[in-house]
Amino acid sequence: MTRLRLGVLISGRGSNLQALIEATADPTYPAEIVQVISNRPDAAGLTRAEAAGLPSLIVDHTAFPDRPAFDREMTQALEEASVELVCLAGFMRLLSDEFVDHWRDRMINIHPSLLPAFKGLEVQERVLARGARFAGCTVHYVRKEMDTGPIIAQAAVPVRADDTADSLAARILEQEHRIYPLAVRLIAEGRVSIDAGDRARIADWPTVPGVLLNPPEA
């Protein structure tokens, strides 16, 4: 079996990297991690990569004169590793248009909301402030505009009456760890395509049963 070659970009703790590490440890999983890159030398995710025996590299953004120069260095490292799909996993740097165009339809991201709602930062604080009854996470292809692009997979969780931003974020993170490996699997199996309307289509997509209500009917 030929496995899809992944490059994972991180900036922090690397919990979604760990989810991908655990998924790819299964020899039947159709993808493998061939390069981990962090823009921060102190990122805890680098320890996870080392423990898994994965090639890792620090590309410190502060060492470059501008964003395009930093992005070109990352592209060079990814291409030297023959990366086929770039996975942003808590990578906290805005990317240049040049980088996004170069990796178009070959780069995905995970965001802690049900896009297109609640783009950007401080997501769960805004979810609670608006009184949303559901929250969740989204894996999507990356486009130039932040937190946009064809949606591949989503998971929803109910917002509880006693939720704080931290408690809600923790439950969503558990689902992130489920849907990121799922989205990568779908891509690696060749089941995801982008149509003319820039929408991700998934082959053999089963119907999700049931309806969720929050609050539930009495």
Beta bridge partners of 154: 138
d(CA 171, CA 123): 13
d(CA 137, CA 123): 10
Contacts for 151 with CB less than 8 Å, ≥ 6 apart: 115, 138, 139, 140, 199, 200
- Give me the helices (H) in the chain, please: 15-24, 45-51, 67-80, 97-102, 123-130, 165-188
Active site residues: 111
Contacts for 42 with CB less than 8 Å, ≥ 6 apart: none
